[in-house]
Each structure stands twice: as C-alpha cells, then as structure tokens.
Amino acid sequence: MAETLIGDVLDTAFWIAHYRALESRRRDALFRDPLAGVLAGERGEKIARAMPMSFWTSWSVVMRTCIIDDFIRWAIADGVDTVLNLGAGLDTRPYRMDLPQSLVWVEADFARMIEYKQQRLAAEQPRCRLERAKVDLSDLAERRRMLARVDQGAQKIAILTEGVIPYLTEEQVGSLADDLRMLGHAPYWIAEYPSPVTMKYRKRSPLARRLENAPFQFDPKDWFGFFREHGWRPREIRYLMDEAVRRKRTMDFPLWMRFWFRIQGLLSSPASQEAFRKMTGYVILERMDGTTAG
C-alpha cells in the first residue's frame, strides 16, 4: 500500500501549500505565492506525490485561492477592518496580497502550526497588521476567549475557514456557527461548499482511502439549510467550474478521462450537467440578523 503521509488534518496544509507553490512557478500563474514553497518544503511535495488525483487537487486549490482572494478584496472594500482566519494552516495572504496596512489579519491555529510558520517566515514582512493566536479550536472555552478578544478590537470582521469545515462533524460546525453569530462585529463568513455530488464522490474515491486520518465529516442533508438554522445565509457563492471558465484555466485531465467526460456530457441530462457544474464552490455567508456594518 502506498504511503499517504497524512497523519492528521494539519498535514493537509503542507499538501495544499505545495500546489500553490506549483501554480506560482507557471508563466501564466493566476496568483504568485512565493512563500508557499518555503512553507510546504519537501514534506508538501512528498505528500503530493503519494496522493492520487493530483490533477484535480492542484486545479481546485488554484480555483479556490482565486475565489477567496476576490472575496477578501470585496470584504475590505465593504469596510472590513479585520480578517480572522480560523485554521489558517500555511496560508500566506498577509504577505502576498495587496492589503491596507491598517488591516488586522488574525491567524488562529494549533500551537505547532503557528510555531512552525513563525520560524519559517521570521525574516518576512507582512503587508498588514498580522497577529497569530495559538488555539485549539475544538476547546470551546479557549476558542470563545480568542473570538471575544478579536471581536472586542474590531469594527467589522470577515471570518475565513478555508478547507476547514469539511473536516468537522455537524455538531462541531453547528457550535462554531453559533459562536461566530454571537460576535458583535462579524457579519461575514467565507467557507467551502461541497455539494452532495462532491461528498458522494469523495467517500468512494481513492483519495478518501489516503485521507483516512483526516476524513471529510461534515455532510448535512441540506448544506444551506443547516447554516440558516444557525443564523447564516448565503450572500454570494462562486463555483470552481465557473471560475475555471472565467479564468480560462481548464483542468489538466488525463487523456482517457477527457474522452470519458465528453461521452458523459453527451449522455447526461441538463440537470446532471448543472449538478456537475455546481460540485464545489466557496460562499460568503452573511449573518441573518441584518447586521452588515460594524
């Protein structure tokens, strides 16, 4: 059996950072992340080599990065003065994006991830006011103290959970959604949307077996209904497939798979094609109490 090298969800950060580094080396790169390779290192490359469906993961990482970058720019234009990145992993947006110097960016993650990142980026200068919080987000008391501290110092917060929600249980996501809704200055939440089609595929794909130590768990019957029950509604959703068309970046399928998709496209119903188009996206959730300003 091939070695997966995924011991827990933290290892996925090295895997994903490797694909951002690969994109940055392209002549036609859709973004430049010069620090991704510094953080991913040999570990990220080794994990990527051991994982199946690398063409899919690489493409999806690029598309989601572009979408979230745009969402962050929109949020700042809308008056957000603080971004709270929960489960920040090896994200480098405070270093690579054109951000206002006055913007406060808070990265929250496990102590060992924060310490690794601080050590690797010690000589780098962020473009905004970067803060880091060592916190176990599953520890309710610790999480709520951190959230209250950030909320107290902000006027308008955008929460970011990139690649975080799918790894949590429904109970954990519901608890987090409730905590975030209780904040006084956090009207927006950027999160990943995997459709039922995606979840069904993910559970039976070769990738699922390699990620048995970091499985996808959040799979409510009605994704949007779940968040509405916890006080959040979608403000905007952008699908990866649509983003690829807009950016003119098609997935680098193996030849046999291109042929298979062409056949499927001819045989599939319009409803099936629409479901495929909406397989995965990122969404800006808006607090439902109508508060959108600090």
List, for residues 56-115, the tens digit of each pLDDT value. Answer: 899 999 999 999 999 999 999 999 999 999 999 999 999 999 999 999 999 999 999 999
**What is the spatial distance between Cα 91 and Cα 79, in angstroms, rounded to a whole number?**
22
**What is the arithmetic mean of pLDDT over 22-35?**
97
Residue percentage of the chain with pLDDT more than 90? 74
CA 37 to chain centre: 18
Question: Which helix or strand (DSSP H or E) is residue 125 part of?
Answer: none
Residue 26: count other Cβ atoms within 10 Å of its Cβ: 11
Tell me: pLDDT of 42 over 60.
yes
Q: Does domain 55-287 have CATH number 3.40.50.150?
A: yes
Give residue 1's pLDDT: 37
Q: 291 pLDDT band (50/70/90 cuts)?
A: very low
Pairing state between β 157-161 and 188-194 = parallel
Q: Please say whether the beta carbons of 78 and 58 come within 8 A.
A: no
Res. 261: pLDDT tops 90? no
Residue whose C-alpha is closest to residue 94's, from 112, 121, 115, 113: 121
pLDDT of 231 > 90? The answer is: yes
Alpha-helical segments (H) within 81-132 = 93-96, 111-120
d(CA 237, CA 220): 18
pLDDT score, position 152: 97
Rg (CA), the chain: 19
**Confidence band for 290, pLDDT divided at 50, 70 and 90:** low
The rounded distance, in Å, linking the Cα atoms of 182 and 228 is 14
**Confidence check: pLDDT of 196 > 70:** yes
Q: What is the pLDDT of residue 208?
A: 64
Residue 260 reports pLDDT greater than 60: no
Give every CB contact of residue 136 below 8 A, 6+ residues apart in sequence.
Answer: 110, 142, 143
What is the predicted pLDDT for the residue at 34? 97
* The model's pTM: 0.90
H helix intervals, 78-139: 93-96, 111-120
